[in-house]
């Protein structure tokens, strides 16, 4: 199976490529080739049992996406996106990459014709939802994004469904919850503290908590994000019918519950590294975010996340510290 | 107030222009100019108390929409669209007009900048909904279109909301129910019989009913469609918040109830002109359509449709027969 990953230099794309290299297959099909594409050079995974090609370009530039699709990959992971903050700050760039780029990909696939109909796994986001919403968002709740990023993802979902219905491609959209614990350096995303209050203390560093401890949010580990992608890649499309996008499951916890889990796993001294420093700007942003999902459809279709936040922390320790931390 | 109608040669556009000419104002603001645009020449209304300009072009062609917006109309009715059947038959044309054309309009407005922020009334459609749905579709039910037309309208709604939220325009989207009784000749739309079984008998002609009489559907008169547009044009945008598109109210009746209303108003001889001729193709299409809406939000905001199907027939007789029919 010939596989293309768009957005392969990002955290999830990198972990997906590493996992493919380890396993050599998705479901029952072994990989014959992996193309990693991004706007900056992706790092090929070590020891892949199949050829890995890297490609660097702006896939929204005329003619670029066609070059990636002309070889007719059997499976395309479309993870490429301008993230929320940047899409809000740069209106034109957000629409160019997130809407025009996505549509250019689907069009490039369509115009090949000739029976070519690859599985396309599209990462959408819970940013397709906008307040006010119920305490738990059900599968049939409507999409009313309150950011340009969320708007572009919701449009991507609609296009994915229509191109699938018309038989041009075989799409599955997955709405990722907040991925936690994100490895690496702190970033400036408003949601960054959800990972920061776990990651920094485990590294022996202080973390700032800008919101009250009763804030509730839904998380899944980077490992779950990769599992979602792989499950979406091999899912029987007939089980989905015309509604191609799914809210992924996750662990809904308050910040207090996150901190208790950290204390259970790493002890009081580590948990004491969290400093409360309320930030009204972050608090206002976080108030507009969904707190909990009732992702029944995805669960019925076999998508699985962690069962507890303790498990999310343990996975972070396994994946980023080789299972060992000093507490 | 300078007003632009895109799609002015269509049935609703023509009736809207006639009404504006009669009233000379919308709410408290009088019209200073009316520009009627379509891909075929629109007919200017008689006796307008303001200048009327007609313009003919393909508004999705590069540079065309800019010409219409450069004069900074205060109010734009965007009714232009490739209809459902044609958008399904010609994928590229549907996306070019219904998606690219709509986006080109919004972009042309945005790039003027300089505080220009016109009210844009966008006609969406109940085609944004796709089966399966509940018996009555509520305001927060999700959009899962099953046609390319419905997909394009749903994307238009998302863009309208985002451009409004960003302050580039001041949009209101209205999802029209089936407009009944459509005047004029029968057309080949699958929904055509809903009007045909009223219109043809009133003209002393036979009409064919291709579905069982227990089929339920939601209707509003052409006069209500114009009322919706005018109400949307003068509605206080602050009452809408970020959710800019609304399902319009209508009269939900079965075909049997339509026929009973016709019998009450025009007598047995007229109602006897309906010939039952079941058509499995039409039946299958109609099964995928919504039957009833619970359009609470639009009603709270002052949108009004007819109270009964009798009223819809009487309006047809008033508007198309000057109130007189021979029965």
Nearest chain B residue (CA) to A160: B151
Using a pLDDT cut of 70, give the percent of chain A over it: 99
pLDDT tens across A153-172, in order? Answer: 999 999 999 999 999 999 99
The ipTM estimated for the assembled molecules is 0.95
CB contact under 8 A, B242 and A142: no
How far is Cα B207 from Cα B219, in angstroms, rounded to an integer? 18
Closest-CA distance of chain B to residue A212, Å: 27
What pLDDT, in 10s, does the model give residues A270-301? 999 999 999 998 898 888 889 999 999 999 99
Is the pLDDT at A69 greater than 90? The verdict is: yes
Name residues whose C-beta falls within 8 Å of residue A284's C-beta, 6 or more positions apart in sequence: none
**pLDDT tens series, chain B, 327 aa:** 999 999 999 999 999 999 999 999 999 999 999 999 999 999 999 999 999 999 999 999 999 999 999 999 999 999 999 988 899 999 999 999 999 999 999 999 999 999 999 999 999 999 999 999 898 999 999 999 999 999 999 999 999 999 999 999 999 999 999 999 999 888 777 889 999 999 999 999 999 999 999 999 999 999 999 999 999 999 999 999 999 999 999 999 999 999 999 999 999 999 999 999 999 988 988 888 899 999 999 999 999 999 999 999 999 999 998 877 755
Residue A132, pLDDT above cutoff 70: yes
Query: Is A149 tagged catalytic?
Result: yes
pLDDT averaged over every residue in chain A: 95
Residue A327 has pLDDT above 70, yes or no: no
Q: Which residues contact A11 (CB under 8 A, 6 or more apart)?
A: A179, A182, A183, A184, A222
Chain A positions contacting chain B at CB under 8 Å are 91, 130, 140-146, 148, 151, 154-155, 158-159, 161-162, 165-166, 242-243
Q: Please state which CATH class domain B2-177+222-247 belongs to.
A: alpha beta
Chain B: residue nearest A111 by CA?
B92
Structure confidence at residue A326 as a pLDDT band (50, 70, 90): low
Residue among A249, A255, A186, A173 at smallest CA distance from A216: A255
> If you measure CA to CA, which chain A residue comes closest to B153?
A158
Cβ B143–A151 below 8 Å, yes or no? no
Q: How many CB pairs under 8 A join A and B?
A: 52
Gap between the Cα atoms of B250 and B264, Å rounded? 20
Which tens digit of pLDDT belongs to each residue from B132-166? 989 899 999 999 999 999 999 999 999 999 999 99
Partner-chain contact B140 A141, CB within 8 Å:
yes
Cα–Cα distances in angstroms (integers) from residue B288 to residues A158, A241, B28, B62, B282, in the given order: 18, 14, 42, 36, 10
Rg (CA), chain B: 20
Most B CBs within 10 Å, among A87, A93, A95, A142, to test the B interface: A142
The per-residue b/e assignment along A166-176, b for 16 or more CB within 10 angstroms, e otherwise, is eebbbbbbbbb
A174 confidence band (pLDDT: 50, 70, 90): very high
Is the Cβ–Cβ distance between B83 and B182 less than 8 Å? no
């Amino acid at each position: 199976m010939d596989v293309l990953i768009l957005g392969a230099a990002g955290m999830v794309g990198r972990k997906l490529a590493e996992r493919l290299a380890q396993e050599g297959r998705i479901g029952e099909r072994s990989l014959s080739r992996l193309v990693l594409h991004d706007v900056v050079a992706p790092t090929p995974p070590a020891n892949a049992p199949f050829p890995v090609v890297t490609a660097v370009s702006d896939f929204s530039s005329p003619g670029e996406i066609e070059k990636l699709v002309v070889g007719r990959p059997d499976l395309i992971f479309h993870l490429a996106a301008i993230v929320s903050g940047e899409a809000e700050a740069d209106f034109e760039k957000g629409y160019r990459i997130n809407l025009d780029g996505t549509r250019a990909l689907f069009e490039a696939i369509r115009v090949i014709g000739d029976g070519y109909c690859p599985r396309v796994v599209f990462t959408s986001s819970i940013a397709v939802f906008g307040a006010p919403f119920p305490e738990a968002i059900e599968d049939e709740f409507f999409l009313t994004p309150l950011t340009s990023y969320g708007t572009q993802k919701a449009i991507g979902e609609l296009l994915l469904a229509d191109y699938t219905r018309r038989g041009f491609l075989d799409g599955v959209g997955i709405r990722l919850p907040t991925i936690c614990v994100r490895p690496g350096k702190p970033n400036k995303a408003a949601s960054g503290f959800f990972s920061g209050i776990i990651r920094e203390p485990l590294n022996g560093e202080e973390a700032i908590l800008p919101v009250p401890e009763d804030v509730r949010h839904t998380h899944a580990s980077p490992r779950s994000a990769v599992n979602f992608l792989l499950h979406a890649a091999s899912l029987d499309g007939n089980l989905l019918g015309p509604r191609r996008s799914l809210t992924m499951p996750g662990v809904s916890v308050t910040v207090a519950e996150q901190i208790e889990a950290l204390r259970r796993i790493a002890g009081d001294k580590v948990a004491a590294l969290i400093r409360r420093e309320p930030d009204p700007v972050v608090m206002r942003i976080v108030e507009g975010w969904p707190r909990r999902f009732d992702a029944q459809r995805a669960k019925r279709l076999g998508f699985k996340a962690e069962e507890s936040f303790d498990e999310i922390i343990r996975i972070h320790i396994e994946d980023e510290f080789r299972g060992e931390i000093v507490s």
